[in-house]
Amino acid sequence: QVTLWLKKIYGNRPVPQYEVNARTIDILYELVECNEARDRDVSLLIEDMKQKATEYEAEANYLQGLLAESLGLSLSSLSSEGTSYLSVLVNSAMTLETKDTSLASFFSAINDMTSELYATESKNREMELELSNLRKKLTAAVMLEKQLEEDLKKTEELLEVEKAKADSRSQNLKFLKDKSEDLKIRIKAAE
């Protein structure tokens, strides 16, 4: 079965050499099954499309006959302007995805599209409002960050000044302690 499938796939060209063992045959057999299943699916799809084309053609012939009988119209008897209007009507019906070209179908489709438009516009307004709020919050956060950076810088500068004062006081205290010790020694020596 695998050999027949390979010959069918390659046609008149020679089948490439491959290692014949249980594993490669199993893999090729799975490919045969997948390929045949796909071919069946494609043929079913083709048959379905042919059937739909036949149905559409029968419907078109029926409608053409109906126009010819009831109104005495045929595509060949329409003026170029009439054919143009008919094309616009058909294109509008296809664009609006109506089931037919009746006025009720057009109104229904237009109402549906208008409702969708209003819903979309409403959603857009909500999103714009949310975006505006997020921008305001982001601006406030950026301003707060700048203020915090400035405060941090001022605090660091103040800390350096205070550290310098503390160092100066520490040196003065050390000087006073040393002087005090020196005076104590002098007092004892004087006593």
Model confidence, pTM:
0.39
Per-residue model confidence (pLDDT) at position 73: 65
Q: 97 in the Ramachandran plot: left (φ > 0), alpha (ψ -120 to 50) or beta?
A: left
Residues sharing a CB contact under 8 Å with residue 73, sequence separation 6 or more, in sequence order: 67
Percentage above 70 pLDDT, the chain? 95
Percentage above 90 pLDDT, the chain? 49
Q: What are the residue ranges spanned by the domains of the chain?
A: 1-73
Dist. CA 102–CA 108, nearest whole Å: 10
Comparison of pLDDT for 144 and 103, the residue scoring more: 144
Dist. CA 142–CA 138, nearest whole Å: 6
Residues sharing a CB contact under 8 Å with residue 96, sequence separation 6 or more, in sequence order: 105, 106, 109, 110, 113
Residue 138 binned pLDDT confidence (cut-offs 50, 70, 90): very high
Per-residue model confidence (pLDDT) at position 162: 93
Q: Check pLDDT > 80 for residue 156.
A: yes
Dist. CA 178–CA 172, nearest whole Å: 10
Q: Check pLDDT > 70 for residue 72.
A: no
Residue 61 binned pLDDT confidence (cut-offs 50, 70, 90): confident
Dist. CA 5–CA 32, nearest whole Å: 7
User: Of 76-90, 110-124, 156-170, where does mean pLDDT reach its minimum?
Assistant: 76-90
pLDDT average, residue stretch 153-164:
94
Q: How many Cα neighbours within 13 Å face the side chain of 18? A: 14
Helices 103-190 & 80-96 angle (0-180, nearest 10): 40
Dist. CA 3–CA 29, nearest whole Å: 10
